[in-house]
Amino acid sequence: MKPLALFGGTFDPVHIGHLSVAWEASELLDAEVRLMPASVPPHRVPPTASAAQRVDMLRAALRGQSRLTLDTRELDRSGPSYTVDTLDEFRLECGERPLMLLLGADAFAGLRSWHRWRDLFEVAHIGVINRPGVEASLPVELERAVAARRTDDPAIIRARPAGRVIELAVTPLEVSATHIRQLLAAGRDPRYLLPAGLFDDPALLAPYRSSFENG
Ligand SMILES: Nc1ncnc2c1ncn2[C@@H]1O[C@H](COP(=O)(O)OP(=O)(O)OP(=O)(O)O)[C@@H](O)[C@H]1O
Ligand SMILES: O=C(O)c1ccc[n+]([C@@H]2O[C@H](COP(=O)([O-])O)[C@@H](O)[C@H]2O)c1
């Protein structure tokens, strides 16, 4: 069965790294991929752009293709966007369909700090996306939890609803939202690090420009 893969993030702002890895993951797994912005992302400072502004940017970024779609359900819940709660909700909706959580290698390495982290494996597969500058070695407790779950075969992912971990070798792109926010705040124009749609309307990137420029 075609897996449903969820790529959660702050997307503050969405950049070509997010889009390219999500696209390639969808190709590698033959999966439907949804980008899912977090309302109140756990474990980090609040985003610069509001949830509504981040969604506007995502909509502009995703225009013109249909492989990647947007899922805004976490924005409808109050409080922190705990991924395990979201996956529980998806599981109820999608029955036995394979469900996958897509994570950059940096996010995966920090999994032990997540709410009910061991339960994530019960409700979904995990697809780990390589990211430049992230060490391959995992904390011992996490490696122990995933060792017996590892597979490199997408067919195994398609054959069951949850429980396996697969590394997805995508084209490495050293792009981060932090760096892009810094460039924009400094008055720079990171034109080709962001999807073209984000330049269609100057209001989309306004949250990141300095107040001097905005004024
Ligand atoms: N260039 C990239 N390559 C691979 N994975 C990425 C890349 N950029 C982001 N991700 C992954 O996308 C998900 C959402 O990331 P997020 O929205 O926090 O972007 P970010 O660029 O890491 O932002 P920030 O710099 O603000 O932390 C995470 O799982 C993260 O690991
Ligand atoms: O559920 C958790 O405890 C949890 C802790 C940290 C991050 N997450 C999710 O991981 C995704 C990536 O987070 P971030 O901070 O790298 O944008 C996003 O969907 C977050 O909601 C989830």
pLDDT averaged over consecutive 10-residue blocks of the chain (215 residues)?
96 98 98 95 88 97 97 91 96 97 96 97 98 92 97 97 97 97 96 97 95 51
pLDDT score of 215: 43
Q: How far is the CA of 12 from the centre of ligand 1 (A)?
A: 9
Q: How far is the CA of 130 from the centre of ligand 1 (A)?
A: 11
DSSP state of 159: H
- Domain spans, the chain: 4-208
pLDDT score of 1: 86
pLDDT score of 211: 60
Q: How far is the CA of 155 from the centre of ligand 1 (A)?
A: 27
> Is the CB–ligand 1 distance for residue 9 below 6 Å?
yes
Alpha carbon 120 to its chain's center: 15
* 88: nearest Cα among 3, 1, 6: 6
Q: Which two tokens stand for residue 135?
A: 């060490």
How far apart, in whole angstroms, are the C-alpha atoms of residue 165 and residue 65? 28
How far apart, in whole angstroms, are the C-alpha atoms of residue 32 and residue 188? 35
Q: Which two tokens stand for residue 35?
A: 């980008």
- 178-to-14, 76, 92, 100 alpha-carbon distances in Å: 11, 25, 35, 26
Complex confidence, ipTM = 0.98
Cis peptide before 13 (omega within 30 of 0): yes
* 12: nearest Cα among 42, 43, 40, 50: 50
Q: Which two tokens stand for residue 120?
A: 């994530």
Q: How far is the CA of 94 from the centre of ligand 2 (A)?
A: 22
pTM: 0.96
Q: Which atom of ligand 2 is nearest to the CA of 44?
A: 15
How far apart, in whole angstroms, are the C-alpha atoms of residue 58 and residue 143? 33
- 200-to-59, 91, 188, 207 alpha-carbon distances in Å: 12, 37, 17, 15
Which residues does 185 contact at the CB level (< 8 Å), separation at least 6?
A: 208, 209, 210
The dihedral sign for the CA sequence 55, 8, 139, 135: negative
pLDDT score of 71: 98
**Which protein residue's CA is at the shortest distance from atom 4 of ligand 2?**
114
DSSP state of 148: G
How far apart, in whole angstroms, are the C-alpha atoms of residue 58 and residue 148? 36
**Which protein residue's CA is at the shortest distance from atom 12 of ligand 2?**
9
How far apart, in whole angstroms, are the C-alpha atoms of residue 60 and residue 74? 19
Q: Just give the CATH number of 4-208.
A: 3.40.50.620
